[in-house]
Amino acid sequence: MSNHHSDRAVVLGGSVAGMLAAAALAQRYGSVTVVERDVLPPTSRTSEHRRGVPQERHVHGLLPQGRQIVEELLPGFTERVLTAGGHQGDVLGDTRWYLNGLPLRQAHTGLAALSASRPLIEGSIRDLALALPNVTLLDGHDVVGVRADSGVTGARVTSLHGGGSRVLPAGLVVDATGRGSRAPHWLADLGLPGPAEEAVRIDLAYTSRLFDVPDELFDGDIVVVTARFPGQHRSSVMQRLEGGRALVTLAGVHGERAPADLAGFTAYAESLPVSATADVVRAATPAGDAVSFRYPTYVRRRYEQLATVPDGLLVLGDAACAFNPVYGQGMSVAAMCAGALRTSVEPAAFFAAQAALLDAPWTLAVRADVEGPSEPVRRLQLAAVHDAELAEAFIRVTALVDPPSALSAPWIAQRLSAPSPAAA
Q: Which residues lie near ligand FAD (CB under 6 A)? A: 12-18, 35-38, 52-53, 55, 58-61, 142-143, 176-180, 206, 293, 295, 317-319, 325, 328-332, 334
Closer to ligand FAD by Cβ: residue 316 or 385? 316
Shortest Å distance, C-beta 406 to ligand FAD: 21
Q: How far is CA 269 from CA 24, 96, 98, in A?
A: 41, 16, 14
Q: Please give the backbone phi and psi of residue 380, each rounded to the nearest 5 degrees, phi first.
A: -65, -45
Shortest Å distance, C-beta 331 to ligand FAD: 3
Closest CA to 277 of 218, 205, 206: 218
Amino acid identity at 294:
R
Shortest Å distance, C-beta 63 to ligand FAD: 7
Closer to ligand FAD by Cβ: residue 29 or 186? 186
Closer to ligand FAD by Cβ: residue 12 or 222? 12
Shortest Å distance, C-beta 165 to ligand FAD: 12
Shortest Å distance, C-beta 60 to ligand FAD: 4
Closest CA to 235 of 198, 200, 210, 202: 202
CA of residue 109 relative to chain centroid, distance: 22
> How far is the C-alpha of 95 from the C-alpha of 77, rounded, in Å?
21
Closer to ligand FAD by Cβ: residue 114 or 272? 114
Closer to ligand FAD by Cβ: residue 59 or 397? 59
Shortest Å distance, C-beta 311 to ligand FAD: 22
Closer to ligand FAD by Cβ: residue 331 or 385? 331
Closer to ligand FAD by Cβ: residue 179 or 386? 179
| Cβ–Cβ under 8 Å, residues 25 and 32 | yes
Closer to ligand FAD by Cβ: residue 119 or 151? 119
> How far is the C-alpha of 396 from the C-alpha of 413, rounded, in Å?
17
161: exposed, middle or buried (C-beta count within 10 Å: 0-12, 13-18, 19+)? exposed
b or e along 196-223 (b: 16 or more beta carbons within 10 Å of the residue's beta carbon)? eeeeeebebbbbbbbbebeeeebeebbb
Q: How far is CA 207 from CA 259, 278, 328, in A?
A: 7, 14, 16
Give the CA angle between residues 54, 46, 283 to the nearest 5°.
85
Shortest Å distance, C-beta 364 to ligand FAD: 13
Q: How far is CA 68 from CA 13, 72, 112, 197, 399, in A?
A: 22, 6, 9, 30, 12
> How far is the C-alpha of 254 from the C-alpha of 203, rounded, in Å?
5
Closer to ligand FAD by Cβ: residue 61 or 421? 61
Closer to ligand FAD by Cβ: residue 272 or 400? 400
Shortest Å distance, C-beta 207 to ligand FAD: 11
Q: Per DSSP, what are the bridge partners of residue 247?
A: 210, 239
Q: Per DSSP, what are the bridge partners of residue 224?
A: 96, 238
Closer to ligand FAD by Cβ: residue 74 or 319? 319
Shortest Å distance, C-beta 50 to ligand FAD: 7
Interstrand relation of 8-12 and 31-36 (parallel, antiparallel or unpaired)? parallel
Shortest Å distance, C-beta 245 to ligand FAD: 16
Shortest Å distance, C-beta 11 to ligand FAD: 10
Rg of the chain (C-alpha set): 22
| Cβ–Cβ under 8 Å, residues 209 and 290 | yes
